[in-house]
């Protein structure tokens, strides 16, 4: 699986919410990138980028979301803006998405056994992890890196994975220290290793 770093921070109308104009630009850019890849999409403010990958899937599939937050809230500004907190609700309207499974902590792992026999798209937000393993600018969960890695390895070993994305972490502009950045980079590398061919 290829590794791709995606950065739309310089595009206006993309931070936390995505305008229709910016969404059109991003969809065009994504059309030239491989779907079956490990996509690093930046901070949690850009988690809605997952929706644009899901829109490109051309077969029935299931989304598995490792995230401290469900990201399925109604849009605060109506349907015009896609948001980092509401993109899952929009994804549920995709005709080929047959379901989604939200994994918030290790106690949810048993639910992985209930997934239908369909290809999976995996989306991981670092805020699912305890601050011992990642630093974000959102409230965080309690999962360990070993727990998350084990669940991802299990899915990769037994299922067809259409694509993976990783978001979360913090940036210096929001108070991230060099230690925070180093920890997040180390965790990102560990997760990438699971999907490296």
Contacts for 9 with CB less than 8 Å, ≥ 6 apart? 15, 42, 46
Give the range among 48-52, 117-121, 137-141, 161-165 with minimum mean pLDDT.
137-141
- pLDDT exceeds 80 at position 117: yes
- pLDDT exceeds 90 at position 38: yes
What count of other Cβ atoms lies within 10 Å of the Cβ of residue 186? 13
- pLDDT exceeds 70 at position 79: no
CA angle 52, 55, 57 (to 5 degrees): 120
What count of other Cβ atoms lies within 10 Å of the Cβ of residue 188? 20
Give the model's confidence band at 8: pLDDT under 50 very low, under 70 low, under 90 confident, else very high.
very high
- pLDDT exceeds 80 at position 76: no
Percent composition of the chain: helix, strand, coil (DSSP 3-state, to 5): 35, 20, 45
Q: What is the CATH number of domain 2-195?
A: 3.40.800.10
Q: Can you give the pLDDT at residue 15?
A: 83
- pLDDT exceeds 90 at position 75: no
pTM, entire model: 0.94
């Amino acid at each position: 699986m290829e590794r791709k770093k995606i950065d739309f921070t310089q595009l206006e109308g993309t931070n936390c919410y995505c305008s229709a104009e910016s969404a059109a630009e991003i969809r065009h850019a994504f059309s030239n990138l491989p779907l079956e890849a490990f996509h690093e999409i930046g901070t949690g403010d850009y988690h809605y980028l997952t929706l644009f990958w899901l829109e490109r899937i051309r077969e029935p599939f299931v989304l598995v979301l490792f995230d401290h937050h469900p990201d399925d809230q109604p849009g605060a500004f109506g349907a015009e803006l896609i948001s980092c907190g509401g993109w899952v609700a929009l994804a549920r309207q995709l005709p080929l998405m047959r379901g989604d499974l939200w994994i918030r902590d290790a106690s949810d792992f048993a639910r992985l056994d209930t997934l239908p026999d369909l290809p999976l798209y995996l989306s991981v937000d670092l805020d699912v992890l305890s601050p011992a393993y990642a630093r974000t600018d959102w409230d965080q969960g309690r999962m360990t890196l070993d727990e998350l890695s084990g669940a991802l390895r299990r899915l990769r070993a037994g299922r067809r994975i259409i694509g993976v994305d990783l978001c979360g972490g913090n940036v210096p502009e929001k108070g991230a220290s060099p230690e925070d950045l180093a920890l997040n980079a180390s965790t990102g590398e560990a997760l990438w290793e699971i999907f490296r061919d």
